[in-house]
Amino acid sequence: MIAPASPPKQELLRNALSFLQGLGLVVKMGSNVHHTYGYLAGKDDERLEDIHTMFRDQDVKAIICACGGYGTGRLATQLDYELIARNPKIFWGYSDITFLHTAIHQKTGLVTFHGPMLSSDIGLQDVDEKTKETFQQLFESKRLEFSQQTSPIQTIVDGKAEGPVIGGNLTLLVSTLGTPYEVDTRGRILFIEEIDEEPYKVDRMLNQLMMAGKFKEAEGIIVGDFKNCEPDKRKDSLSLDDLLDEYIKKAGKPALKGFYIGHSSPSLALPVGSMGRIDTYRKSFTVESGIKEEVESL
């Protein structure tokens, strides 16, 4: 359990610890999980060392992030990607963790997991049972099936698409542009999610991804939850659906929206880098397991 971004709320973290122990897991705490350095959970070298220590430790089978917030982009240039590649293991989180997912997967090929976090989600009193159940994918090699039974899926652009899954939080994906860790959507299925951004800000970010060619280069697009991304009622505004339809329809790639992926309840996990398939005619999105049969799961 590490905090590579902002400091987690400790009471919620304790609740989440009980959840992990209830799954039969033995938990090792990162040395900076309880630290605070402004809006960061420790200085950069301290948070970086927690990541390296957990990948280096042969007893550690999974690294699960406590929360997001801010700070992972500051670590990308200092990460030891060779160490990570030599010690492949489960790496789990979302939101600000998107920068690490993108950098780690593109530098090492490791499949990582975009999934609910400990203090942010699991530690809440009203956490949805499906959010808890999504951790079960770490214990077996099983294809994930997203359908209208799991999410209120709607079609944006009809078609079928196949490719490795890449993506995450929209703000963080945009922040990779122009860096050595720029998100690569070529031949891939891109998924996006966001929280607490007004439509005009979402517009700016979607436009930047479009101008960078990220929608056009993708095989297909999956739109997760855009929580609280509503316009200020005191202002005239386009709606979120207006923006998604405009930018994604313009790309012309098979696209579905309405998935409980991101800052939603329930919040469903998916493996970044695993092969995904979109079929808009069936309103389905399937993703191969991030746990390989020949690799020991948790």
Of the candidates 114, 151, 193, 274, the residue annotated as catalytic is 193
CB count within 10 Å of CB 20 equals 17
Q: Are 239 and 231 in contact (CB under 8 A)?
A: yes
Active site residue 274: no
Residue-wise DSSP of 119-162: IIIITSTT--HHHHHGGGGGSS---EEE-TTTS--EEEE--EEE
Q: Which of 119, 120, 263, 264 is catalytic?
A: 263
Residue 212 CA to residue 190 CA, distance in Å, equals 14
Buried b (16+ CB within 10 A) or exposed e, 199-224: beebbebbeebbebebbeebbbbbbb
Catalytic residue among 95, 119, 274, 289: 95
Per-residue DSSP letter, 74 = G
Phi, psi of 206 (to 5 degrees): -60, -40
* 182 CB burial (10 A radius; 0-12, 13-18, 19+): middle
d(CA 283, CA 200): 29
Answer yes or no: 182 catalytic. Answer: no
Catalytic, 35? Answer: no
Rounded Cα gap, residues 256 and 289, in angstroms: 20
Amino acid occupying residue 13 = L
Tokens 């056009």 belong to 216
DSSP bridge partners of 272: 112
Contact 84, 62 (CB under 8 A): no
Length of the chain, in residues: 298
Indicate which residues carry an active-site annotation: 95, 193, 263
